[in-house]
Amino acid sequence: MRQHTERDNLVICTVLVELRCCVAVVAVKDKYKVHPKSVPGGIIRCNVYRPKNTAKSPVIMTYGPYGKDTHTSEFLPHAWHDINSAQQSEHSAFEVPDPKFWTEKGYAVVRADEIGTGQSPGFLDTMSASMSDAFAELIEWAEDQEWSNGKVGLLGISYFAGSQWRVAVRRPRGLACIIPMGKQVRSNQYGLAGRSKNDGGPETIEGNLSEEELRANRTDQDIDNLKAAFRDDEYYASRDYNLEDVEVPLLSFGNLVHLRGNVEGYMLAGSRYKFLRMRSGRHDLPFYSQVEVGTQASFFSVFLKNDDVDGWMMGKQPKVMYQAQKGPFDLKSVKAASGTIYDWRIAPEWPLPNTNYTRYYLTPDLKWTPNQPAVGVHERLSYPSMTTLAKPFSYQFITEPFEKEPEITGHIVAHVNLSVTRKPGGTTPKDIDVFFIMRHWNADGSERVFTGTIGDFAAVTRGCQRLSLRKVNKEHPHHRDFRLHRDYFSTDVLPVLPGEVYPVDVEIWATNVVVLPGEKISIEISGGDTPGIGPFVHEGGERTEERFGGTNHLHFGPSHENYVTLPIVPQ
Ligand SMILES: *[C@@H]1O[C@H](CO)[C@@H](O)[C@H](O)[C@H]1NC(C)=O
Ligand SMILES: *[C@@H]1O[C@H](CO)[C@@H](O)[C@H](O)[C@H]1NC(C)=O
Ligand SMILES: *[C@@H]1O[C@H](CO)[C@@H](O)[C@H](O)[C@H]1NC(C)=O
Ligand SMILES: *[C@@H]1O[C@H](CO)[C@@H](O)[C@H](O)[C@H]1NC(C)=O
């Protein structure tokens, strides 16, 4: 890899008052050739923001598809409005650190457009191996620059968090630590005419491409996801990686909606120094809050500047910290959305020590109770499959009002006995998708709604499972009773025959919630999405009427116990 010289197109754009900014063109060629359609080599365009009067700085880098030149206020105007003003500048972009703030702290910020997006030409293949390989090369390029001190840290939310895990397992030279914090991409494809009208940001430097060229120059993740169903399919196999291979220090920041990956990453990473933080609120506001930016700066200070002011390497920082979601949440409040209303709790490990995994049973009269129900006659609750968010149908099992104050923090597993039968006049169903959602009820009977990623209404947590893929690999070293391990290989498919009753365990995403006396919680079972799921619905083309259409049944009876195992933390 090399940096293009002036002749090669290195554009010095402006020298700004508080920082130096240039657009660098980085040639990648060594490893960017994994996708059959991707040409070896290519260029990545990135903005380099450097502090003035500093010869060598540590580097904070992001590499992603949302447009290095698209200002947050254009990309997501309503989000921009609520962001901590100390983190707003003319250089702000969606989900990435603000260059003005970080250059003032002595860091260089490199913000790159992923290949095929923004101003980086080439084949667009989100989350692919070739994307991550190119990212690794970009990190090594930054390490080599005469203006860098050779240490590169990664910091970003959502897509920019996912990409950090993927590149960290590649262990690129110069990568010193990561802080992953848990919209659309196609509207920012390289060469797309009128792009500036979609998301703001500039038109493509080398001009527009034709519709045929655009189509030939991208692969659509939605379509690829439809075609590839198993982890051993080429599409997923090429993207697969082992979190154990991550060895750099990491600070994994999760929130309600992005929590699963952050917890998985923390638990499985091979890093000696790893920390987990979980907070409530939207995905973007906490990232820019004064407290969190302070934590990010403290962490970078250790691993990028060799200055351990807060004792991260000396055991002075808790391994795990989380906000206990206790008390009301106002969806409309910016304070709540910024994740500043709940108190922090500290734990020495995750899952929390002394977690008491307790079964809460579902009963045919829609109760959710810790008392094992008396063995009754066979009964079943029947519900339509293929319901949608627009027209949901579900059974809700609800607890009695709590008397004490249970804290539920950790991993949840549901166990149910299910079957499917043909609808009158329908075809023979071949599979079942089961959906769970957990809700919290205020003492006055109203639902406590939390914020999802972008201020949408979110329930406490959820999970879903396809029955043909119910096989659990209990031999796998990562398997725990509270954290199921499924391989999802094509060879794992099990039959789903109409009229047969199948027991299935369903992972419900790890969460935390404190239920006050008088409040209740509920668990809902459905054949489709129900309100509180946020923008990430499961209504893709693979869920065909032909395959899933039918009536689903939840079975109760002597050999048919249904329960949800909750992680109760003794107070
Ligand atoms: C690309 O398309 C946009 C919108 O149609 C247009 O404004 C722009 O001039 C085009 N760029 C070039 C270089 O033709
Ligand atoms: C993508 O577009 C470029 C034009 O910038 C073209 O040269 C190239 O052949 C295209 N790549 C593919 C894979 O079609
Ligand atoms: C776990 O919770 C159950 C149900 O409340 C209780 O009976 C049991 O004693 C608890 N176990 C521990 C180890 O606290
Ligand atoms: C239903 O689940 C129970 C465990 O709760 C299991 O023992 C049983 O085999 C399942 N029933 C059937 C018919 O598969």
* pLDDT digit string, tens, across residues 277-311: 998 888 777 788 888 899 999 999 999 999 999 99
Round the CA-based radius of gyration of the chain to a whole number and report it: 25
Ligand 4 pocket: which of 505, 555, 560, 564 to mutate (most atoms within 8 A of CB): 560
pLDDT grade for 15, boundaries at 50, 70 and 90: very low
For the cut 90, the answer to whether the pLDDT of residue 161 exceeds it is no
> In this predicted structure, what is the pLDDT of residue 182?
67
> In this predicted structure, what is the pLDDT of residue 302?
97
Give me the percent of the chain exceeding a pLDDT of 70.
Answer: 89
Residue closest to 150 by CA, chosen among 371, 353, 306, 319: 306
How many Cα atoms occupy the beta-carbon half-sphere of 163 within 13 Å?
Answer: 32
For the cut 60, the answer to whether the pLDDT of residue 18 exceeds it is no
Closest ligand 2 atom, residue 206 Cα:
5
> In this predicted structure, what is the pLDDT of residue 474?
97
| Average pLDDT over the chain, rounded to an integer | 85
Integer CA distances (angstroms), 303 to 162, 165, 214, 241, 290, in order: 20, 17, 41, 24, 20
By the 8 A CB rule, do 124 and 116 touch? yes
**Protein residue with its CA nearest to atom 5 in ligand 4:** 561
pLDDT grade for 31, boundaries at 50, 70 and 90: very low
For the cut 50, the answer to whether the pLDDT of residue 16 exceeds it is no
Q: Length of the chain in residues, anyone? A: 571
- Classified as helix, coil or strand, 356 is strand
Verify whether ligand 2 is closer than 6 Å to residue 124 (CB atom).
no
Q: What is the pTM of this model?
A: 0.87
CB-based contacts of 87, cutoff 8 Å, min separation 6: 98, 101, 288, 293
Residue closest to 489 by CA, chosen among 464, 469, 463: 469
pLDDT grade for 128, boundaries at 50, 70 and 90: confident
Cis check: omega of the bond before 406, within 30 degrees of 0: no
Distance between CA atoms of residues 140 and 131, nearest Å = 15
By the 8 A CB rule, do 443 and 476 touch? no
Where does 356-569 sit in CATH, by number?
2.60.120.260
For 311, the token pair is 């004792």
Task: Please state the φ and ψ torsions of residue 244, each to the nearest 5 degrees.
Answer: -60, -25
Ligand 2 pocket: which of 39, 206, 213 to mutate (most atoms within 8 A of CB): 213
DSSP letter assigned to residue 71: B
Say how many Å lie between the CA of residue 120 and the centre of ligand 2: 12
How many Cα atoms occupy the beta-carbon half-sphere of 75 within 13 Å?
Answer: 25
For the cut 50, the answer to whether the pLDDT of residue 2 exceeds it is no
Which carries the bigger pLDDT value, residue 50 or residue 567?
A: 567
Q: Mean pLDDT, to the nearest integer, of 404-415?
A: 95
Q: Which amino acid is at 335?
A: K
> In this predicted structure, what is the pLDDT of residue 13?
31
Q: Mean pLDDT, to the nearest integer, of 324-339?
A: 85
pLDDT grade for 97, boundaries at 50, 70 and 90: confident
Q: For the stretch 523-542, what's the b/e string if a residue is b when 16 or more beta carbons lie within 10 angstroms of its beta carbon?
A: bbbbbbbbbbbbeeeeeeee
Verify whether ligand 1 is closer than 6 Å to residue 208 (CB atom).
yes
By the 8 A CB rule, do 268 and 76 touch? no
Where does 27-347 sit in CATH, by number?
3.40.50.1820
Residue spans of the domains in the chain: they are 27-347, 356-569
Distance between CA atoms of residues 365 and 548, nearest Å = 26
